[in-house]
């Protein structure tokens, strides 16, 4: 690995190329070299004041650069550095962000800390409920605080209750104000598997959403304003927050079965990872070499084109049918060579009537958006590449590395229509939604040391990496994982403006019979890290939480039913067309 890294640096310098990481690393090296103080002085002179937003996502190298330039701990009066961030929202460790960097900055600026203590997003009930959930854990005398950073009397990451500006409107269900935080418990005599938990919660959550939307149409649910007006709840008011694509798939399938359309938003899903991208590669190969029987048949048999089996069988039986396909793809090649790849792909979509065919499918809008997005990316790439084969190779390379999605490759929103948003918690950070569902919030992925290399931090906050972890290191790494899960839960709960529903269950991992709920963020907040003696104890934990606040309730799990959502008919009158 060291040799590859060194050779990579040599090759980049030979080609005079650099990436984003190089900009940081080379600036850091320059600042800490002999002439580093002179460079720092020039930067200070040009930028005497700097502000860093979302500072909790800073990594050690970035912090080292700012420390060198602005001498944070010395606190010079001729410069100003303002680091704005919320450590409770530090959830990007997988991208290199390091909460220990934030803690180092906090120590360096002791006595110069200022807080924004009022929430302007959520209702007073929602803020009070979230405060109570975390204060309960923070107040335990024997625990390590709500975010696991308390040691003896020192807590660099405390939970401090925030005040609420409040909202003018109020969520009403069946004519009654709705409790801000509601916990749905999956009843069981023993710990249940993750599969059962996800399935039960998905069906109950989808049924509840349908009931809420249908009640809104009948005027029995909605947002009541001070003037007495009741605005009905719409699908676009609802966000379902999940951890990954598997959870999203499960809940979206249940929503689709009940006639509720949804959109999935993730901050790392690449458009190149979609099935359409693989089919597009087959189409390009066939258009570049239309006389190749193997390539043309592969293109016509692609899932996205969705040709019928009898139509595909005719390719083998009828010479004239085969010849007509060859001629059509030769025409595509001509269009590609004369006008470019984007006009050629649009012509292909039009000829196969894909927009009309896809729109009938539940995921059709998503597929069509991906195809148009890919066509645009290919058109941009074609400007820097020479010939069809170079573009095909470019697409094939991206398919091979679709795990690393650049900013321009992230899946696009397919529609601005009234859709329920299914969003990863990471993607939801910084956003707000009137109603939030967290149906799978008890799921967790404890660190067991099987995924290597293992990353962990020592008691001084220094990062370590090991290929041969011992039990202590695995325990430390899992402790950090739980701490990040707690921050992730905080982000999820604070997205809601009016109400949030949580799916709670006593879970087990794999074939083990023992409960693993205490290793999840919600389990830690409820029980302080104690393992459940039996599944009935969970009911006691939830009732104890509900007893502490009027804004928290624990109703039974909504009954799963097959009721359908009936989309309201639009009553708009068309106005006369305007003359250009």
Asked whether the beta carbons of 137 and 145 are under 8 A apart, the reply is yes
Asked whether the beta carbons of 272 and 394 are under 8 A apart, the reply is no
Q: Residue 278 to residues 275, 388, 394: CA-CA distances in angstroms?
A: 5, 17, 13
For the segment 220-226, the average pLDDT, to the nearest whole number, is: 93
Strand, coil or helix: what is 115? coil
Residue 275 has, within 13 A of its CA and on its CB side, a CA count of 11
Sequence-distant (6+) residues with CB within 8 A of 149 are: 103, 155, 156, 157, 483
For the segment 296-309, the average pLDDT, to the nearest whole number, is: 93
C-alpha–C-alpha distance, residues 377 and 276, integer Å: 14
Asked whether the beta carbons of 301 and 312 are under 8 A apart, the reply is yes
**Mean pLDDT lowest for which of 370-379, 425-434, 504-513?**
504-513
Helix axes 319-339, 309-317, angle to 10 degrees: 100
Strand, coil or helix: what is 231? strand
Reported confidence tier of residue 51, pLDDT bands at 50, 70, 90? very high
pLDDT above 60 (res 544)? yes
- Residue 380 CB: number of other CB atoms within 10 A? 11
Q: Which helix (H) or strand (E) holds 272?
A: none
For the segment 79-94, the average pLDDT, to the nearest whole number, is: 92
What b-and-e string marks burial along 38-69, b requiring 16 or more CB atoms within 10 Å of the CB? ebbeebbeeeeeeebebbbbbbbebbbbbbbb
pLDDT by residue (tens digit) across 184-196? 999 999 999 999 9
Query: For residue 241, what pLDDT is reported?
Result: 98
C-alpha–C-alpha distance, residues 185 and 204, integer Å: 11
Nearest to 523 by CA among 570, 485, 475: 485
For the segment 565-569, the average pLDDT, to the nearest whole number, is: 81
Query: For residue 329, what pLDDT is reported?
Result: 96
How much of the chain exceeds pLDDT 70, in percent? 97
Owner of token pair 């809008």: 365
Reported confidence tier of residue 405, pLDDT bands at 50, 70, 90? low
Q: Residue 315 to residues 289, 294, 310, 350, 353: CA-CA distances in angstroms?
A: 17, 12, 9, 21, 19
Query: For residue 223, what pLDDT is reported?
Result: 96
Reported confidence tier of residue 153, pLDDT bands at 50, 70, 90? confident
Nearest to 517 by CA among 465, 575, 444: 444
pLDDT above 60 (res 443)? yes
- Comparison of pLDDT for 227 and 285, the residue scoring more: 285
Q: Residue 114 to residues 82, 84, 106, 110, 376: CA-CA distances in angstroms?
A: 10, 9, 11, 10, 46
Reported confidence tier of residue 527, pLDDT bands at 50, 70, 90? very high
For the segment 173-200, the average pLDDT, to the nearest whole number, is: 94
C-alpha–C-alpha distance, residues 467 and 171, integer Å: 52
**Mean pLDDT lowest for which of 6-20, 58-72, 253-267?**
253-267
Query: For residue 568, what pLDDT is reported?
Result: 76
Q: Can you give the length of the chain in residues?
A: 580
Compute the mean pLDDT over every residue in the chain, rounded to the nearest whole number: 92
Strand, coil or helix: what is 504? strand
Label each residue of 37-97 as H, E or C. Answer: HHHHHHHHHHCCEEEECCHHHCCHHHHHHHHHHHCCCCCCCCCEEEECCCHHHCCCHHHCC
Taking the CA atoms of 524, 432, 56 and 80 in sequence, report the sign of the dihedral they define: negative
C-alpha–C-alpha distance, residues 423 and 193, integer Å: 24
β-strand pairing of 80-83 with 49-52: parallel
- Comparison of pLDDT for 494 and 269, the residue scoring more: 494
Sequence-distant (6+) residues with CB within 8 A of 192 are: 186, 505, 506, 507, 508
How much of the chain exceeds pLDDT 90, in percent? 79
Asked whether the beta carbons of 206 and 565 are under 8 A apart, the reply is no
Asked whether the beta carbons of 134 and 490 are under 8 A apart, the reply is yes
Query: For residue 416, what pLDDT is reported?
Result: 58
- Residue 197 CB: number of other CB atoms within 10 A? 23
Q: Which residues pair with 502 in a beta bridge?
A: 183, 438
pLDDT above 70 (res 300)? yes
Reported confidence tier of residue 143, pLDDT bands at 50, 70, 90? confident
């Amino acid at each position: 690995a060291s040799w590859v890294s060194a050779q990579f640096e040599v090759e980049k310098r030979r080609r005079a190329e650099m990436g984003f990481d190089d900009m940081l690393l080379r600036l850091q090296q320059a600042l800490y070299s002999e002439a580093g103080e002179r460079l720092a002085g020039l930067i200070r002179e040009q930028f005497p004041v700097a502000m860093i937003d979302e500072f909790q996502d800073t990594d050690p190298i970035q912090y080292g650069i700012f420390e060198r330039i602005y001498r944070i701990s010395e606190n010079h009066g001729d410069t100003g550095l303002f680091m704005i961030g919320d450590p409770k929202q530090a959830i990007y460790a997988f991208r290199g962000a390091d909460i220990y960097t934030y803690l180092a900055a906090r120590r360096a600026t002791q006595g110069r800390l200022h807080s924004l203590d009022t929430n302007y997003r959520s209702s007073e009930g929602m803020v009070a409920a979230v405060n109570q959930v975390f204060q309960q854990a923070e107040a335990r005398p024997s625990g390590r605080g709500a975010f696991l950073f308390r040691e003896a009397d020192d807590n660099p990451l405390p939970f401090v209750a925030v005040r609420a500006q409040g909202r003018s409107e109020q969520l009403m269900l069946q004519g009654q104000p709705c409790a801000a935080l509601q916990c749905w418990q999956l009843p069981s005599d023993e710990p249940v598997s993750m599969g059962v938990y996800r399935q039960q919660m998905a069906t109950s959550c989808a049924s509840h959403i349908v009931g809420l939307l249908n009640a809104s149409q009948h005027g029995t649910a909605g947002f009541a304003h001070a003037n007495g007006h009741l605005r009905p709840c719409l699908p676009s008011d609802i966000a379902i927050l999940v951890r990954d694509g598997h959870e999203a798939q499960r809940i979206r399938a249940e929503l689709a079965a009940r006639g509720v359309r949804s959109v999935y938003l993730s901050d790392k899903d690449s458009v190149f990872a979609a099935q359409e991208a693989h089919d597009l590669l087959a189409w390009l190969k066939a258009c570049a070499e239309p006389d190749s029987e193997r390539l043309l048949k592969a293109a016509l048999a692609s899932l996205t084109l969705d040709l019928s089996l009898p139509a595909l069988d005719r390719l083998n039986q009828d010479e004239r049918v085969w010849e007509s396909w060859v001629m059509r793809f030769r025409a595509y090649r001509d269009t590609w060579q004369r006008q470019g790849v984007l006009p050629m792909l649009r012509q292909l979509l039009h000829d196969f009537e894909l927009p009309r065919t896809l729109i009938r499918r539940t995921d059709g809008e998503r597929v069509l958006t991906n195809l148009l997005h890919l066509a645009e990316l290919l058109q941009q790439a074609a400007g820097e590449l020479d010939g069809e084969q170079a573009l095909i190779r470019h697409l094939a390379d991206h398919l091979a590395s679709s795990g690393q999605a650049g900013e321009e490759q992230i899946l696009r929103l397919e529609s601005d229509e009234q859709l329920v948003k299914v969003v990863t918690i990471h993607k939801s950070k910084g956003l707000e939604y009137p109603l939030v569902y967290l149906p799978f919030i008890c799921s967790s992925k404890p660190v067991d040391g099987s995924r290597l290399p293992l990353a962990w931090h020592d008691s001084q906050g220094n990062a370590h990496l090991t290929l041969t972890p011992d039990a202590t290191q695995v325990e430390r790494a899992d402790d950090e994982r739980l701490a990040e899960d707690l921050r992730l839960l905080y982000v999820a709960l604070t997205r809601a403006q009016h109400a949030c529903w949580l799916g709670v269950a006593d879970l087990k991992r794999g074939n083990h019979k023992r409960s693993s709920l205490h290793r999840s963020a919600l389990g830690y907040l409820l029980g302080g890290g104690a393992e459940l003696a039996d599944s009935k104890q969970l009911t006691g934990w939830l009732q104890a939480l509900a007893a502490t606040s009027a804004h928290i309730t624990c109703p039974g799990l909504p009954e799963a039913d097959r009721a359908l959502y009936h989309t309201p008919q639009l009553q708009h009158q068309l106005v006369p067309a305007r003359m250009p």
